Structure 1
Amino acid sequence: MLAAFVGGLIIAGALIWAVQFGMKVRDRELPRPRPDEQPHLPDGGAVRESREIREPDEVPHAVGKERLMPYELHKSSTRTGKDQHRRRWLPGSSGSFGGGGVGHH
């Protein structure tokens, strides 16, 4: 019984020390930003998301040269796809791995 009481006192003392240590650390941190320093929406309103289908943009071949220079490469490895029609999932078609569906009818 005495061991349980001493163990409880040790745990309570450790918890009190942890809280005091956390308060000291928090006092050393920078103050929280004031309401006027908080981020706000741009004047034009919220920025809208744009969706597009991308396709790979292959590296061009170096015709008549030994190698391509960096300024001859495209800025991105993908480009806007020619077909922007988004293919939708159809019920009954194969969906997820292990979905157990029967596939196309």
Structure 2
Amino acid sequence: MQIAAPSGLISLVLFLVAIAVLALLAGSFWMGNRIKLREPPRPRPEDQPKMPLDGPVYEIRENREPDEVPKVPKGGRALTPYELSNMQTRPSDSKDRPRWSRGSSGSFGGGGLGAH
């Protein structure tokens, strides 16, 4: 019975815990304000980017195709990756966009059913 009896000590401990939590919250707001005051000021409207003098820049859409891999003559040895140059691309004559096969997602693991 004595253990279950209400004690004033429990109320005092809860009150001190509440005061500690409030002190932590107030300290975090104070520290956040100090950190914010050390940050550089926000940019002014005149500091914002300006449009180029010759107008807006638009994207260019074009199909590109790779350069051909050099052919190895009959009886010759195969080229190693170190003997190949940096493979460049060039604009394609075709204006049709390349498409994947029907039923394929176009990428490995893309979630599609794949070509069945």
Q: Report the RMSD for the aligned CA atoms in angstroms.
A: 3.4
Pair 1:100 & 2:113 matched: yes
Alignment CA distance shift 1:27-1:85 (3 Å):
same
**Structure 1: unaligned runs, 5 residues or longer:** 61-72
Q: Between Structure 1 and Structure 2, whose CA radius of gyration is higher?
A: 2
The one of 47, 52, 59 equivalent to 1:49 is: 59
Q: 2: CA distance between counterparts of 1:6 and 1:93?
A: 67
The one of 70, 88, 100 equivalent to 1:78 is: 88
Pair 1:37 & 2:37 matched: no
Q: TM-score, normalised by structure 1?
A: 0.56
What is the percentage of aligned positions where both structures have the same residue? 38
Q: 1: CA distance between counterparts of 2:38 and 2:55?
A: 37
Note the C-alpha offset of 1:84: 4.5
Q: TM-score, normalised by structure 2?
A: 0.52
**Structure 2: unaligned runs, 5 residues or longer:** 1-9, 71-84
